[in-house]
Structure 1
Amino acid sequence: MRAARCTAYGPPEGLEVVTLDDPEPGPGEVLVDVHAAAVNFPDVLLVAGRYQVPAPPPFTPGSEFAGVVAALGPGVAGPAVGTPVAGAVLTGAFAEKAVVPVEGLRAVPDGLDMVHAAAFHVTYATAYHALVTVGAGTAGEWVTVLGAAGGVGSAAVDVGSRLGMRVVAAASGEERLKVARVLGAEAGVDYVREDLKTRVRELTGEGAHLAVDPVGGDHAEAALRGLRRGGRFVTVGYADGRVPRIPLNLVLLKDAVVRGFEIRMLRRYAPEAVAAGDEALARLVRDGMRPLVSRVHPLGEVAAALSDVAGRRTTGKVVIEMGA
């Protein structure tokens, strides 16, 4: 099989596409013929050796994929060979075949092709749980979404607006804000040219009820300052590359709630919430929701795809299609 390989930590340009022996599933594992795999910012961090959970080289990066079950390992009763599945792993998705623990697989929601199925689960589950399970967002509330044209950000705009929340999209530049408006954002703030805190408060009156931040950096504090009293702030990730240092007196004075969210921990400690989120997202897909896929690359262009995501030159999701 062909696979992307990281042989030493560094920039995405160091990745190579090589031929490896086909893997075999062990106990509790499933072999999947991968049709498509999505690029996520943590993939960039893993290749650089900067992710909170390290992957020692050499390894095959890629964490989100869709494909078809090819074989079952010992002790695995299903899903049956030939079943379309989507899955999430720490590494291994940027390859023509992947071995995955059976609990890491999900059914592909009806209506999604393989490219969109690969781009769906991680970002949309992250967005849903950040907004609803952790952020306690409800219809009619104002929600500030940072990085609103990126992978998680665009999903949060999409899910939030479909659930009746009033989304203020925060992004860099008018072109990215146009993307967020198409996805349902009620208002937008260009946080390169405008003061985020001031504009959010002008747009919402008293301030946003909730802020979802997959970016970090300087804009996190501004989004927190743009909350109303008793507002909630959910930190999801740090695509900016800098972990924000929030003055705790702001939390005290606003009576704010600050929570962190990481999808792997939710799967481990709250499986019932994960199942409820999957059902809610499947309903939204049936109603027409689709992830925004802005670029599709063949496996041979995996380094370029990761470089574009690392440089924040993309909107929505970037997908690697194995047969392209």
Structure 2
Amino acid sequence: MRALLCKTYGGIDDLSEEEVASPKPGPGEVRVKVAACGVNFPDTLIVAGKYQFKPDPPFSPGGEISGVVDALGEGVTAVAVGDSVVATTLWGGFAEEIVIAADKVMRRPEAMDPVIAAGFSMTYGTAIHALVQRGALKRGEALLVLGASGGVGMAAVEIGKALGATVIAAASSADKLAIAKEAGADITINYTDQPLKDAVKEATGGKGADVVFDPVGGDFTEQALRATGWGGRLLIIGFAAGAIPKIPANLTLLKGCAVVGVFWGDFVRREPEANRANFDRLFAWVADGTLKPLVSETFALADAPEALRRLAARQAVGKLVVDLTK
């Protein structure tokens, strides 16, 4: 089978497409014929050896897949050969086949396009966990989404609207904000043109945001904290800007607000039933048209490094997906 391999930690340019042996599932495992694999910021970190988890090279990056189960290991009864599934895998998805634990796969709706499904799990799973379990977002509250045109940012915009919030989308260009507006944002802010705090205060009548969804980090995190209202919740999703911020702790005291970490991957491991309930809700929203996931571009396996480069440079709008059928 074909696979994109990382043979040593380093740069994206060192990845190579090669033929490797087809894997065989062991007890409790399934093999999935991969149709497509989403491209995510952690993929760039794993290749560089900078992620929380460090697989031993050689390995394939790619942390979320859609496909069809084509082989079962001993003792597997929850899924069957031929089932259409999605799974989050941390790595291994940039390959034509992958072996994973059977309890890590979820059946996807048959009507859900495999390319859309491949770009769905990590972004929408993270966003709903952040907003529901960690942020306790309530109907009528003001939600500020940073990086609102990226994959996880757009998921937060859509889910925030579905939960009844007033959504304020912040991004770095008019084009990106137009995409966020199409996804349902009520108010847009270009944070390169005006101070974020002032713009959010104006948009909320001086109150500030109730919940901030921050996958960007860097200098924007402190600005977002200053834009948070009394009793607000600043959700730390990730650090796409590259720098891990240090924030003045006195601001949390003065605002009576909370800085809340969001680690969806460990939530999946620790609370699998709550995660599945989240996905039941998400799949229902997809079915009724509430959610309209945007895959802006697909790439062949050989072109996956270019997708990773664009993501690392923050040039992606919506979701990028590697299509293994190309």
Which TM-score applies when normalising by structure 1?
0.98
Partner of 1:265: 266
Partner of 1:69: 69
Report the secondary structure of 1:154's partner residue: helix
Structure 2 residue 213 is matched with structure 1 residue 212: yes
For 1:77-96, what aligned pairs fall within 5 Å after superposition? 77-96=77-96
What is the Cα deviation at residue 308 of structure 1? Answer: 0.8
Distance 1:200 1:54, change over 3 A: same
Distance 2:211 2:41 in 1: 23
8 Å CA contact 2:214–2:238 kept in 1: the answer is yes
For 1:18-57, what aligned pairs fall within 5 Å after superposition? 18-57=18-57
CA RMSD of aligned residues (A): 1.0
8 Å CA contact 2:237–2:261 kept in 1: the answer is yes
Amino acid at match of 1:290: K
Amino acid at match of 1:301: D
Report the secondary structure of 2:230's partner residue: strand
Partner of 1:234: 235
Partner of 2:309: 307
Report the secondary structure of 1:243's partner residue: coil
Cα distance per residue 1:187-240 (max 9 Å; x no partner):
111111211111001001201110011111110111111111111111011111
8 Å CA contact 1:162–1:184 kept in 2: the answer is no
Cα distance per residue 1:32-80 (max 9 Å; x no partner):
0000000000000101111122223211111001000000011111311
8 Å CA contact 1:109–1:117 kept in 2: the answer is no
Cα distance per residue 1:164-199 (max 9 Å; x no partner):
111111111111000100000011111112111110
Distance 1:239 1:39, change over 3 A: same
Amino acid at match of 2:164: G
Report the secondary structure of 2:281's partner residue: helix
Which aligned segments of 4 or more residues in structure 1 are displaced greater than 6 angstroms? none
Amino acid at match of 2:150: G
Distance 2:35 2:264 in 1: 23
Report the secondary structure of 1:305's partner residue: helix
Amino acid at match of 1:150: G
User: Comparing 95-104 with 51-60, which one deviates more in the overlay?
Assistant: 51-60
Partner of 2:178: 178
Distance 1:34 1:286 in 2: 23
Give 1:321's match in structure 2, choosing from 300, 304, 323: 323
Structure 1 unmatched runs, 5+: none
Distance 1:111 1:162, change over 3 A: farther
- Count the aligned residue pairs: 324
Partner of 1:106: 106
Distance 1:109 1:134 in 2: 27
User: Comparing 293-302 with 4-13, which one deviates more in the overlay?
Assistant: 4-13
Distance 1:132 1:201 in 2: 24
Cα distance per residue 1:71-100 (max 9 Å; x no partner):
001111131101100001111000000001
Report the secondary structure of 1:164's partner residue: coil
8 Å CA contact 1:112–1:290 kept in 2: the answer is no
What is the Cα deviation at residue 124 of structure 1? Answer: 0.4
What is the Cα deviation at residue 8 of structure 1? Answer: 1.6
What is the Cα deviation at residue 272 of structure 1? Answer: 3.3
Partner of 1:134: 134
8 Å CA contact 2:297–2:319 kept in 1: the answer is yes
Cα distance per residue 1:259-314 (max 9 Å; x no partner):
10111211122233212211211221111122110110111101111111111111
What is the Cα deviation at residue 110 of structure 1? Answer: 4.9
8 Å CA contact 2:137–2:163 kept in 1: the answer is no
Cα distance per residue 1:125-180 (max 9 Å; x no partner):
11111111110001211000011011111110111112211111111111100010
For 1:182-193, what aligned pairs fall within 5 Å after superposition? 182-193=182-193
Structure 2 unmatched runs, 5+: none
Distance 1:99 1:279 in 2: 24
Distance 1:7 1:102 in 2: 27
Amino acid at match of 1:249: N
Which TM-score applies when normalising by structure 2?
0.97
Distance 1:100 1:129 in 2: 23
Distance 2:41 2:56 in 1: 18
Distance 1:202 1:234 in 2: 21
Amino acid at match of 2:57: P
Amino acid at match of 2:304: V
8 Å CA contact 1:125–1:277 kept in 2: the answer is yes
Amino acid at match of 1:46: I
